[in-house]
Amino acid sequence: MRETTKGKVESFVSQYGDDELISLLSASIVQKSSHHLTIICDDTMHHIPNNLIEGEKFVFSKGTFDSSSATLIEDYLSERLSILRNKLLEREWQKIILIFSGHAILSASIKLFIYRVTHKETEDIIYFGSSGYKKINIDMRAIASLQP
């Protein structure tokens, strides 16, 4: 590494910290495939690090929604799922990443809906507090097809 580069890196780290540098570099290194879609269930409470986003980003929900009745919740989900359907049908996505966040009804509805529309499993990213974000990949079809 050249001295000028090393100096800039050290200056950046002293001002912003190692984690921010790693996040920026990781985001730059990850191939931004036009056929990868990252869906954030809810973009309200937690900052989603850039290095978790691959390809195009889609935010399903932001802010609070009216949960005062089952009908209002169903209406909100139906509206948002309709918008998600359009995104899912825009192209043949090679990889769909789902970042779980917000109320459980959002994540559960989105995951099932993605499978119903695309017949694809998602790569799930879940926040585990002090353990941080973890990628969870389970081949549901393989498990479902096991003989009892």
Nearest to 97 by CA among 130, 128, 137: 137
12-32 residue pLDDT tens: 889 888 877 777 776 655 555
Q: Are residues 15 and 68 in the same domain?
A: no
Q: Are residues 8 and 76 in the same domain?
A: no
Q: Are residues 1 and 42 in the same domain?
A: no
- Range of the structural domain that residue 98 is part of: 32-144
Please say whether the beta carbons of 98 and 114 come within 8 A: yes
Please tell me the pTM assigned to this model.
0.76
Q: Are residues 62 and 38 in the same domain?
A: yes
68-94 residue pLDDT tens: 999 999 999 999 999 999 999 999 999
* Spatial distance between the Cα atoms of 4 and 10, rounded to a whole number of angstroms: 10
Q: Are residues 75 and 99 in the same domain?
A: yes
Give the number of domains in the chain: 2
* Spatial distance between the Cα atoms of 144 and 148, rounded to a whole number of angstroms: 10
Residue type at 38? Answer: T
